[in-house]
Amino acid sequence: MKTFSALFKRELYAFFLSPVAYTVLGIFLLLCGYFFSRSISYFSFLSVQAGYDASLQAHVNSNELILRPLFSNITLMLILLIPLLTMRTFAEEKKQGTLELLLSYPVSNSSIVLAKNAACFIVVLVGLLGTAAYPALLLFLSDPDTGPIFTAYFGLVLLAGSTVSMGSLFSLFTENQTVAAVSSFGIILLLWSLAWFSDFVPGMPGTILAEMSIQSHFQSFAKGLVSSRDVIYFLNIVVFSNFLSVQVIKLGIRGR
């Protein structure tokens, strides 16, 4: 536990010593703010229109028009930006040779993987915490349903954990950070978009594609539903990716 704590602190320290975390978090929050303001503008426009057209009043719902687009946008930005945070976790250590030294210390492979992923996860959580200002503002100005806000954040936390684990795994395969970022982004995007393809594939294969898709499992959280099936899906990705990472260190790096 002591070694985990020392590793975790160093990783966190490394994130905030480099401009990467500040840049990624800054861009993330800026884009979230932009999309939030666009949703607010659209909501205001529809509210004004609803004053003249009673049939529109049923559609003027802050959860539907502001929060769901906001969470959808946050999800896409996480998919885009998390690989930029995870790309350095192992690729940088491999390139600088520091992983060689780290492996000679009395620290287990699983502690190394978990400490690195936990630090990266905390950085993402800081970003997600920053986005909480937007729903908080909405709560102050209107009366949205709070349930979907909490479930959506729960889903985002699970999504962040799973994508961080996947990104970190891909960082283990290369010394090149760009390659690590692009390959993890590609895989995460593919897993996200499987739901789109599933619509065109009939029968069991289509169901399997939908079940494998991140998007399918995240949607219910955004709607205010927490299903154990979805939670287990994300936890499976975390456990499987971390297990693979440990095996890659054990057999791929130490055994090479």
Partner 1 sequence: MLRVESLTKHYGSFRGVDRLSFSLEKGSTLGLLGPNGAGKSTIIRMLAGTLMPSEGRVMLTGSQAEPFMPEYQRQLGYLPETAPLYAQMTVGSYLRFVARIKGVPKKELEQGLERVLAECQIEGVAGRVIGRLSKGYRQRVGLAQALINRPALLILDEPTAGLDPSQTGVFRELIASMQGQRTVVLSTHILPEVRSLCSHVIIINRGKIAAQGQIDGLLDQDSSGRRFYLEIRGPNQLVLLALQGLQGVTSVTLSRQTGQGRFSYLMTADNGADPRDHLLDLLAGSGWKLLELRSDRQDLETLFINAVTGSLEDENIQRPV
What residues line the site for partner 1 (CB under 8 A)? 2-3, 5-7, 9-10, 13-14, 17-18, 96-98, 100-101, 103-107, 254-256
Question: Considering the complex, what minimum distance in angstroms separates the CB of residue 110 from partner 1?
Answer: 13
Q: Which residue has the tokens 């729903």?
A: 135
Question: Considering the complex, what minimum distance in angstroms separates the CB of residue 14 from partner 1?
Answer: 6
Virtual torsion, Cα 101, 179, 109, 238, nearest 10 deg: 160
Question: Considering the complex, what minimum distance in angstroms separates the CB of residue 11 from partner 1?
Answer: 10
Question: Considering the complex, what minimum distance in angstroms separates the CB of residue 121 from partner 1?
Answer: 20
Q: Helix (H, G, I), strand (E, B), or coil: what is residue 174? A: coil
Sequence-distant (≥ 6) Cβ neighbours of residue 137 within 8 angstroms: none
Query: Among residues 44 and 98, whose Cβ is nearest to partner 1?
Result: 98
Question: Considering the complex, what minimum distance in angstroms separates the CB of residue 84 from partner 1?
Answer: 18
- CB-CB contact of 182 with 97 (8 Å): no
Question: Considering the complex, what minimum distance in angstroms separates the CB of residue 97 from partner 1?
Answer: 3
Q: Is 4 exposed, middle or buried, given 0-12, 13-18 or 19+ CB atoms closer than 10 A?
A: middle
Q: Which of these, 89, 96, 78, lies nearest to 119 by C-alpha position?
A: 89
Cα–Cα distance, 39 to 24 (Å, whole number): 22
Query: Among residues 97 and 147, whose Cβ is nearest to partner 1?
Result: 97
Query: Among residues 116 and 217, whose Cβ is nearest to partner 1?
Result: 116
Cα–Cα distance, 5 to 10 (Å, whole number): 9
Query: Among residues 2 and 229, whose Cβ is nearest to partner 1?
Result: 2
Q: Which of these, 221, 231, 33, 8, lies nearest to 127 by C-alpha position?
A: 33
Sequence-distant (≥ 6) Cβ neighbours of residue 204 within 8 angstroms: none
Question: Considering the complex, what minimum distance in angstroms separates the CB of residue 107 from partner 1?
Answer: 6
Query: Among residues 38 and 95, whose Cβ is nearest to partner 1?
Result: 95
Please give the structure tokens belonging to residue 124: 């993402």
Cα–Cα distance, 209 to 212 (Å, whole number): 5
Query: Among residues 93 and 230, whose Cβ is nearest to partner 1?
Result: 93
Q: Which residue has the tokens 């002591």?
A: 2
Query: Among residues 44 and 108, whose Cβ is nearest to partner 1?
Result: 108
Cα–Cα distance, 74 to 66 (Å, whole number): 12
